[in-house]
Structures are given as structure tokens and as C-alpha cells.
Amino acid sequence: MLLEQHPGVGLDAVDAKFVGRGRGGYCFEHATIFAAALERLGYDVTRRLGRVGDPAAGTQQGRTHMTVEVRLDGRRLLCDPGFGMSLLRPAPLADGAESDQRGWPYRVRRNDTGGWELHRHREAGWELTHTTDELPVLPVDVVIGHHYTSTFPASHFRHGLMLTRHLPGQHVSLTGTTITVRRPGRATEHRELADGELLARVRELGAGLTPQEEQRLVDRLAGSAPSA
């Protein structure tokens, strides 16, 4: 989206990008291909939409996050492969259930509207990451959500780099100007990027950009500014 060349969130487009090019993407893409793979393997899969942010803090966003629910052996499981600091394994979808994600504690809670909240434990305590509801999700809902996040002038996906990856023992987040490294049980490291460091970090995290795309990324970040 940042380079204005997004192929869409249809399964064929996501398969070509993820499997064909070894690229990543955001929640609509991750959840789309993950749900399709699980269905091909015979799992009972339900697609869900939700909202990132905490309503109590005034940070809740539109219904533009996508997760996958799996029913297995009488249990409901939350699979969330496309969040910024995503789950590494399914989390039990039960009120109060806690899940250790390789050292990072997560908790699922029912909310007053009958949906589900996913909380993660940070240095300051529990943090609400997003809420998901139980309304049916049709393919057109995914297309509409993607259309909004990829074309709305003020969408942060259109103006800021957001590249994240789980690495052994750590999680790295990269923007156009900063790098953040989180390790379980340790203080978060956050700093400004040095001059000329951006592309080295993009390559290190395996973004898989061509040289032309790398140059367009640098040019886009240099001249991009969100509009109302």
C-alpha cells in the first residue's frame, strides 16, 4: 500500500505474493491465506473481524482487523497471524484464558458486547490490543476493509512504513525513522534509525523488495505526509 501497488486480498493475489515472492503483508492477507490453508487441511475455520485499540483510551479504530477462529476437539481457538506483534500459536478463546507465546503473556477476555478482547502484558501491565466480534464475515467484507485501509487518505498504512518480524528470542518493529526491539522479560529497546540504516534493516528483516521498490520506498517516505 505504501508503494501504491497492492494487488488486493483475493486468495490468488495473496498466494502469489506470499508463496510466490516470499513476501509478507498485513492482517487481511495473513488471515486469508492462513484460513485457506487450514480449510484445505480439514479444519473448522471461521473468519472474524475486529477493531484495533482500546475504547477506554480513545484509540479504538474501525472494523479493519482480521483474525481466524478454529474449532478443534470442542475448543475454540484464536489464531491471529497478521497483528503487528502477532500470536505465535493459537490462544484459547475462553474468558480469562492466558497463553504464553514464547515468553510473552497474552490473555483473552469476553467484553460487555459479547465479543472478545486480546490483551498482552507489557512493561506497564496488561494492554488491550484489539477486540473481535462474532458477526459473520463474507469475502466482500474483507475487500471493503482492505479498500478503506489501502485508499483512505489518512490511513497510516499509506504514509508510514510498518515492518515487523519475530526472530529467535525477540520481536523487531521497523518504521521509516525508528527501530524497536522487544525481548521477553527485558526492557524494550527503542531508538531513531541512523542515517542510511533504513534499507539495511529492511533487507535484514527479509522484506524481499526489488532494488526499484527499495528506491521507491525511500522516495515515498521522504515525501509522504498524511492528509485529512
Active-site positions?
Answer: 27, 65, 80
Cell of 97: 484464558
Q: Please report the beta strands in the chain, taking only residues with DSSP state E, as ranges in sequence order.
A: 44-52, 65-72, 75-79, 91-92, 98-101, 104-110, 116-122, 125-132, 163-167, 170-174, 178-182, 189-192
Are the C-beta atoms of residues 49 and 65 closer than 8 Å to each other?
Answer: yes
Element (H, E) at 115: none
Instruction: Indicate the length of the chain as a whole number.
Output: 228
Output phi, psi for 170, to 5 deg.
-160, 165
Distance between alpha carbon 34 and the CA centroid of its chain, in Å?
13
